[in-house]
Amino acid sequence: MKILVLGSGAREHAIILSLLSEDADHEVLAAPGNAGIGQVVETVDLDPNDPVVVANYAIAQGIALVVIGPEAPLVAGVADELREQGIPVFGPGRAAAELEGSKTFAKRVMDVAGVPTGRARRSSTLTEAEAALDAFGAPYVVKADGLAAGKGVLVTTDRAAAVEHARTYLEQGSVLVEEFLDGQEVSLFFVSDGHTVVPLSPAQDYKRLADGDEGPNTGGMGAYSPLPWLDETFGSEDAFVTEVLETIAKPVVARLADEQTPFIGLLYAGLILTSRREKADDRGIRVIEFNARFGDPETQVVLPRLTTPLSELLYAAATGTLRDDRPTFAAASAVTVVLASENYPSAPATGRPLRGLTEAEAVAGVHLAHAATAVQGDELVSTGGRVLSVVALGDDFTEARARAYEALGHISLEGAQHRTDIAARVAH
- Between residues 120 and 206, the one the model is more confident about: 206
The pLDDT assigned to 217 comes to 87
Q: pTM of this prediction? A: 0.92
As a whole number of angstroms, the distance between CA 178 and CA 132 comes to 8
Q: At what angle do helices 159-170 and 126-136 cross, to 10 degrees?
A: 140
As a whole number of angstroms, the distance between CA 206 and CA 313 comes to 27
Say whether pLDDT at 24 is over 80.
yes
Q: Are 408 and 360 in contact (CB under 8 A)?
A: yes
As a whole number of angstroms, the distance between CA 329 and CA 308 comes to 7
Say whether pLDDT at 28 is over 70.
yes
Mean pLDDT of the chain: 94
Say whether pLDDT at 382 is over 70.
yes
The pLDDT assigned to 278 comes to 64
Between 79-83, 148-152, 370-374, the lowest mean confidence (pLDDT) is in 148-152
The pLDDT assigned to 276 comes to 66
The pLDDT assigned to 275 comes to 79
Least Cα distance to 269 among 286, 282, 284 occurs for: 286
Give the confidence band of 279 by pLDDT, cuts at 50, 70, 90.
Answer: low
**Half-sphere exposure of residue 7: CA atoms within 13 angstroms, side-chain side:** 27
Q: Are 384 and 399 in contact (CB under 8 A)?
A: no
Between 29-33, 112-116, 358-362, the lowest mean confidence (pLDDT) is in 112-116
As a whole number of angstroms, the distance between CA 330 and CA 135 comes to 46
Other CB atoms within 10 A of residue 150 CB = 18
Say whether pLDDT at 179 is over 90.
no
As a whole number of angstroms, the distance between CA 71 and CA 290 comes to 12
Other CB atoms within 10 A of residue 289 CB = 19
Say whether pLDDT at 294 is over 70.
yes
Give the confidence band of 182 by pLDDT, cuts at 50, 70, 90.
Answer: confident
Least Cα distance to 220 among 274, 286, 300, 104 occurs for: 300
Average pLDDT over residues 92-116: 92
Average pLDDT over residues 281-289: 84
As a whole number of angstroms, the distance between CA 47 and CA 306 comes to 30
The pLDDT assigned to 234 comes to 93
pLDDT digits (tens, 9 = 90+) for 345-360: 999 999 999 999 999 9
